[in-house]
Structure formats: structure tokens, C-alpha cells
Copies of this chain bind each other. A is one copy, B any other.
Amino acid sequence: VSLVDLRRARIAVFDSGMGGLTVLRAIERLLPGADYLYFGDTARLPYGAKSQKTIARCVVSAAKHLEAQGIDLLVIGCNTASALALYDVREAVNVPVIGVIEPGATAAEELSHSREAIVFATEATVNSHAYQRALARRGFNTFEKACPLLVPLVEEGWVNHPVTEQVARIYMIETLRLAPANCDALILGCTHYPLLKDLFRRVAPQRIQLVDPAEATAHAVVSQLPDNMKLCALMPNAVPTYRFMVTDSTEKFSRMAPLFLNFEVDHVELVDVGQ
């Protein structure tokens, strides 16, 4: 790659709401010299109760909007959207599309000796069994546990709160009662859960390693990025730029973003991509 070919990558991260910011942050830590576009479909969240067809329509409309902004790569940061709409999005746009589930399963494969894993996720992601299938292809036996209280607790800002620790402990006890005895990997299968990593470390048995699909996804982005963009993104002193787009309440997004990012978000665009 000659220096004249160097080009900043335009990387888009889609999520149904705020949670994908943990994925954005993981990518930006590895690739600081890039331009980031974040799309939070806040008007239509949560995707949990919606049908596959509706979710695919929502994600595809957002993906097309992002493609029209001129992007080099699209990351589906939302676990539910990755589970239910990845193939529809890949058919609809002409840029590489990376979901969080395959990278998460690959990361579990690298960490686990027993090939027995636990997945904590939202009800919709558990019901899709996307992680179970991705892990089964890698020879895993998987126990999936829906943890519906964890997202509201994170969104209340109770990240280091005794109530949240108590709830996580209850979910862990319920899980260990039913999970394979030798499981040694816990996949944090919802974008909000990496914020509770310290807390999960305290409530999980020592033998269990935590798997953060956001980090694994960031590594997948690095490996998919063309060399001229990768080198540019890794230049010393390179800094990221950000554009934030949401479909409802820019004010709420700005207010809650610091829960997920280490900086303030003062400009958020309101986008209309239809029903």
C-alpha cells in the first residue's frame, strides 16, 4: 500500500437503540483513525416482540439509509437484528456486513476447553437460538438464558448497583442449576451486558470465562477492512470522527450516551426512514 492510497474508512454501526454503542466503542479502540456513523432505531425498539419480517424490514431500511451516506462497512451491532436480519441486509446493500453472533461464537471457541457454554441474552435473541446454532456448528453444547431485567437496569444507570448485582446473581444461580456442569464460557449476548462485565466476573464461578461479542466483532472488522483503510485507521495520533443518527428523541440519546461511551454526545441527527 503506498501512502497516497491511504484512506479513512467510513464504518457504520446499526443498533435498535443505545446498546450498539458498546460495539462502536470496541471498534474505535482498535481502529481510532476512522469515521464512524452510528444509527439507533430508537423509534422502533425494542425489536423483542416483533416478527422476523418486521425486524428485517426495519434493519434493511436503516441499512439502505446508511449505504446512501457512503460507507465502507456496516456492522449490525444488535444481537437480535444480527440473529434475525443479517441475510436480508446482506442482500439489500453492496457493502460488507458484519453481525455480532458469528464473531461471538468464534471467540467462545477460542476460550473454551469444555465446549460447553452459557449465553445470557434478551428474550428475542434466546428465542431465535442463533447463538445455539452458531455454537453447535463449532461442536458446542449451549445453555441460553433470557435476562430481561438487565437492559432496564443498565438504562436506569444502575451499572455498579447492588440491585443489579443481586439480579445477575439470581440469573446465574438459575442458570447453573440447568446448564452443562463443565461450562467454561459465558457469552454476553446483548450489547448492554459488557457494561456489567465486572459484576458478572463477581457472580460467575472462577472457571467461567466471559466472552464479549463486541470485542470479537471489532476484531472481525479489522480483518475485513482493506489495507489502505486499516493502515490509516492505525496511524499514530489518529482520532475518530462520529455521526449519530436516531429515529426518535435525540435528547434521550444524548442524555444516555455517556453510560456507554467515555465522552459526551452533543449533536444527534433525527432520521426518518418510514414505518
Contacts and interface: CB of A to CB of B under 8 A. Distances in A.
Interface of A: 42-43, 45-46, 49-51, 54, 148-149, 152-153, 155-156, 163, 166-167, 170, 248-249, 252, 275
Contacts of A51: 248
Nearest to A252: B49
A275 B149 CA distance: 28
B249 A49 contact: yes
Taken together, the copies of this chain in the complex come to 2
Contacts of A149: 149, 152-153, 156
Contacts of A152: 148-149, 152
14 contacts: A42-B49, A43-B50, A46-B46, A49-B248, A50-B248, A51-B248, A148-B152, A148-B156, A149-B149, A149-B152, A152-B152, A163-B163, A166-B166, A275-B275
A227 B166 CA distance: 53
Contacts of A249: 49
A45 B44 CA distance: 9
Query: Does more than half of chain A's interface fall in helix, strand or loop, or is it mixed?
Result: loop
Nearest to A246: B49
A275 to B, nearest CB: 5
A97 to B, nearest CB: 26
Given A51-B248, A275-B275, 6 more contacts: A42-B49, A50-B248, A149-B153, A152-B152, A163-B163, A163-B170
Instruction: Count chain B CB atoms within 10 A of each CB in A51, A149, A153, A252 and give the residue with the most.
Output: A149
A199 to B, nearest CB: 14
Given A49-B248, A50-B43, A50-B248, A163 B155 contact: no
Instruction: Count chain B CB atoms within 10 A of each CB in A42, A155, A167 and give the residue with the most.
Output: A167
A107 B195 CA distance: 43
Contacts of A275: 275
Given A43-B50, A49-B248, A50-B43, A163 B167 contact: yes
A234 to B, nearest CB: 38
A124 to B, nearest CB: 11
A248 to B, nearest CB: 5
Contact of A49 (B43, B49, B50, B148): B43
A248 B127 CA distance: 15
Nearest to A147: B156
Contact of A163 (B43, B54, B166): B166
A166 B51 CA distance: 35
